[in-house]
C-alpha cells in the first residue's frame, strides 16, 4: 500500500495548476446516460473516483474513448473523454461497484428518466456520516416514480415516464439536487426544485445539461426550474476547476509560508474560504490567470468558523483549515454542521503535536509553536490531505499511510507540491 513521506520546513513557491473538479466531474459523467449521443468532457481529472465511475458507466453500456495528448498541452492538464450511451444495456448498478463510491448511486436519476426503470445498490463511500438516500427517493417519488427497497437495492419504476412536480428539500443536499435536476430534464412538464443546493458544481452540471438541450433556469439559486424535453443530444463541456483542491493548496501555502499562484482557480467559487485565509494571515490576490497566495512568515492568527452549504465555508475544507490553525497564535473554534462524523483527523493531528479538544460537533484548536513529524493514518479523503498540510510544516519526517484516500480526490498531489519546493514523495509498496 502506498505511503507519502514528507520532510517539513520548506516554503512553497511557484505555480500549481488546478485540476478539474472531482465534485463536478462525477455528475457530468453520469449525465452521459441521459442521451444516446456523445458527451465530450474536457479537463477531466485523473482520479481514482473518476476511474471507478468509468467502470460503473461501462457496466450500463457507456462507450468511452480518451483523446490523445495535444501539442503544447500542459503536463498536468486534465484529459478529454468522450462518453456515448447509445444503448443502455443494463439498468442495474451492482453492490460491488456502488459500495465503493457514494456518488455512483446518482445513476438512478438518469437511468429512471431514460429507461423508466433502475435498480441501484444502496451506496458506500467515505465513512463521514450516515448521509441517507431518503431525500433522493422522496424527490423521485415527487416526479411520479414508485420506489421499493429490496435486499439492499433501490428499485425505481416510472412505466409512463417521470412527470414534472414540486420538490422541496427539508435541508440543502448537493447529491439529491444533482439527481433531481438530471431526472427532471426528461420528465413531462415542469419541475420546481426548492431549497436546492447552490454549489458551483450544480451550476456546472446545469450549464452542461443546457448545452445538451435541457431547459433549466435558476441554477446557483435556491429555486431551480426544469422544463422537461423529449430528448437530449450530445455536447462538449469543460469541467470547472476544483475549488476544494485550490482551497487546499491555498491553506498549504498559508501553513508553510511562500508565494504560489493557483493557476486556473476561480475566486467566485472560493469567496468565503479566501476571506478566512485572509483572517488567518495570508495575502490573497486575484489575477487574470488564477489566485495568488502569499505569506511572508508573519504569525498565523486564530479564527472561528462554522461549516455551511455554499456560499458558506465548505465542509470539504474543514480538515485542512483545522491543520492550518494548529499553528495559529491563539485559540480557534470550528463547528461542523454538515456531517456528524467528520473529525476523524483529530487524533492523527494530535500525533503531530496538535492540541485539539472536541465537544460534539465543535472543535477547539489551541495553537502550538511546533508540530513534529510522525507516522499517521489517513481516514478519509479530506482528512488525509489535512495530514499532508500539517506534515509540510512539521519538524522532521511525517509518513502518511493509506494514501489511496488521497488518490480519490487529488491529482498528482506530491508532484504539484514538490515542484513548489516541498520535500514530499510517494513510496510504493
pTM over cut 0.85:
yes
How far does CA 268 lie from the centroid of its chain?
Answer: 17
Domain check: are 105 and 233 in the same one?
yes
HEC states along 56-81?
Answer: HHHHHCCEEEECCCCCCCCCCCCEEE
Q: Are strands 215-217 and 223-227 parallel, antiparallel or unpaired?
A: antiparallel
Q: Which of 428, 417, 338 is nearest to 385 (CA)?
A: 417
How far does CA 160 lie from the centroid of its chain?
Answer: 34
d(CA 224, CA 218): 4
Length of the chain: 429
d(CA 204, CA 223): 16
Domain check: are 58 and 185 in the same one?
yes
Is 352 assigned to a binding site? no
Domain check: are 320 and 260 in the same one?
yes
Indicate the average pLDDT of the chain. 94
pLDDT in tens, 216-228: 999 999 999 999 9
Among 214, 238, 262, give the residue marking a domain's end: 238
**Read out DSSP for 139-169?**
HHHHTT-EEEEETTEEEEE-TT--B--EEE-
Domain check: are 83 and 176 in the same one?
yes
Q: Which of 294, 261, 271 is nearest to 200 (CA)?
A: 271
CA atoms within 13 A on the CB side of 12: 31
Kindly indicate the confidence band of residue 73, based on its pLDDT and cuts at 50, 70 and 90.
low
pLDDT surpasses 70 at 72: no
Is 132 assigned to a binding site? yes
Domain check: are 152 and 97 in the same one?
yes
Is 54 assigned to a binding site? no
- The residue segments making up the domain with residue 307 are 3-19+241-427
d(CA 84, CA 33): 8
Domain check: are 284 and 308 in the same one?
yes
Q: Is 420 a catalytic residue?
A: no
Is 236 assigned to a binding site? no
Greatest mean pLDDT range, 47-56, 259-268, 382-391: 259-268
pLDDT in tens, 337-356: 987 777 889 999 999 999 99
Is 135 assigned to a binding site? yes
Q: Which cell goes with 108?
A: 438512478
How large is the average pLDDT for residues 115-129?
73
d(CA 165, CA 140): 9
Helix H or strand E segment including 375: strand 375-377
pLDDT surpasses 70 at 374: yes
User: Lowest mean pLDDT: which of 151-160, 337-346, 420-429?
Assistant: 337-346
Q: How big is the CA angle at 136 (ends 124 and 81), to the nearest 5 degrees?
A: 65
Domain check: are 289 and 190 in the same one?
no
- Which pLDDT does position 124 carry in this prediction? 54
Kindly indicate the confidence band of residue 69, based on its pLDDT and cuts at 50, 70 and 90.
low
Domain check: are 230 and 251 in the same one?
no
Domain check: are 142 and 288 in the same one?
no
Domain check: are 72 and 105 in the same one?
yes
Among 215, 238, 261, give the residue marking a domain's end: 238
As for how many domains the chain has, the answer is 2
Domain check: are 15 and 26 in the same one?
no
Is 94 assigned to a binding site? no
d(CA 84, CA 20): 21
Q: Which cell goes with 422?
A: 516541498
Domain check: are 36 and 116 in the same one?
yes
**Read out DSSP for 5-33?**
EEE--PPEEEEEEPPBPHHHHHHHHHGGG
The CATH number covering residue 401 comes to 3.65.10.10
Instruction: Spot the catalytic one: 126, 208, 326, 420.
Output: 126
Is 134 assigned to a binding site? yes
pLDDT surpasses 70 at 70: no
HEC states along 210-266?
Answer: HHCCCEEECECECEEEEECCCCCCCEEEECCECHHHHHHHHHHHHHHCEEEEEECCC
Residues 92 and 60: beta-carbon distance below 8 Å: no
Is 416 assigned to a binding site? no
Q: Which cell goes with 222?
A: 435556491
Is 102 assigned to a binding site? yes
d(CA 34, CA 184): 11
Among 238, 270, 298, give the residue marking a domain's end: 238
Is 195 assigned to a binding site? no
pLDDT in tens, 22-43: 999 999 999 999 999 999 999 9
Amino acid at each position: 500500500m502506498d505511503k507519502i513521506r514528507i520532510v517539513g520546513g520548506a516554503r512553497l513557491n511557484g505555480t500549481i495548476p488546478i485540476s478539474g473538479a472531482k465534485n463536478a466531474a462525477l455528475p457530468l459523467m453520469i449525465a452521459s446516460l441521459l442521451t444516446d449521443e456523445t458527451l465530450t468532457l474536457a479537463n477531466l481529472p485523473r482520479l481514482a473516483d473518476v476511474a471507478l465511475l468509468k467502470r460503473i458507466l461501462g457496466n450500463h453500456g457507456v462507450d468511452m474513448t480518451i483523446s490523445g495528448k495535444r501539442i503544447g498541452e500542459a503536463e498536468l492538464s486534465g484529459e478529454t473523454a468522450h462518453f456515448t450511451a447509445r444503448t443502455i444495456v443494463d439498468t442495474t448498478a451492482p453492490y460491488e461497484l456502488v459500495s465503493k463510491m457514494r456518488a455512483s448511486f446518482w445513476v438512478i436519476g438518469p437511468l429512471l428518466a431514460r429507461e423508466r426503470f433502475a435498480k441501484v445498490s444502496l451506496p458506500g463511500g467515505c465513512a463521514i456520516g450516515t448521509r441517507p438516500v431518503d431525500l433522493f427517493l422522496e424527490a423521485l417519488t415527487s416526479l411520479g416514480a414508485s420506489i421499493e427497497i429490496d435486499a439492499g437495492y433501490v428499485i425505481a419504476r416510472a412505466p409512463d415516464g417521470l412527470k414534472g412536480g414540486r420538490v422541496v428539500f427539508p435541508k440543502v443536499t448537493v447529491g439529491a439536487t444533482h439527481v433531481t435536476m438530471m431526472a427532471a430534464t426528461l420528465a413531462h412538464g415542469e419541475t420546481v426544485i426548492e431549497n436546492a443546493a447552490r454549489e458551483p458544481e450544480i451550476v456546472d452540471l446545469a450549464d452542461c445539461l443546457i448545452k445538451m438541450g435541457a431547459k433549466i433556469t435558476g441554477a446557483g439559486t435556491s429555486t431551480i426550474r426544469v422544463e422537461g424535453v423529449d430528448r437530449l443530444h450530445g455536447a462538449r463541456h469543460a469541467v470547472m476547476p476544483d475549488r476544494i483542491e485550490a482551497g487546499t493548496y491555498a491553506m498549504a501555502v498559508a501553513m508553510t509560508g511562500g508565494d504560489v499562484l493557483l493557476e486556473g482557480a476561480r475566486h467566485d467559487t472560493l469567496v468565503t474560504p479566501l476571506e478566512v485565509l485572509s483572517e488567518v494571515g495570508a495575502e490573497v490576490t486575484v489575477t487574470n490567470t488564477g489566485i495568488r497566495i502569499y505569506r511572508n512568515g508573519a504569525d498565523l492568527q486564530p479564527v472561528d468558523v462554522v461549516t455551511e452549504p455554499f456560499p458558506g465555508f465548505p465542509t470539504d475544507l474543514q480538515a485542512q483549515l483545522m491543520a492550518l490553525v494548529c499553528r495559529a497564535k491563539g485559540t480557534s473554534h470550528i463547528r461542523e454542521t454538515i456531517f456528524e462524523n467528520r473529525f476523524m483527523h483529530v487524533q492523527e493531528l494530535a500525533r503531530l503535536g496538535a492540541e485539539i479538544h472536541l465537544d460534539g460537533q465543535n472543535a477547539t484548536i489551541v495553537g502550538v509553536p511546533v508540530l513534529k513529524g510522525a507516522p499517521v493514518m489517513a481516514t478519509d479523503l479530506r482528512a488525509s490531505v489535512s495530514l499532508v498540510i500539517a506534515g509540510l510544516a512539521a519538524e522532521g519526517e511525517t509518513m502518511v499511510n493509506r494514501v489511496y484516500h488521497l488518490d480519490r480526490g487529488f491529482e498528482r498531489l506530491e508532484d504539484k507540491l514538490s515542484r513548489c519546493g516541498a520535500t514530499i514523495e510517494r513510496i510504493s509498496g
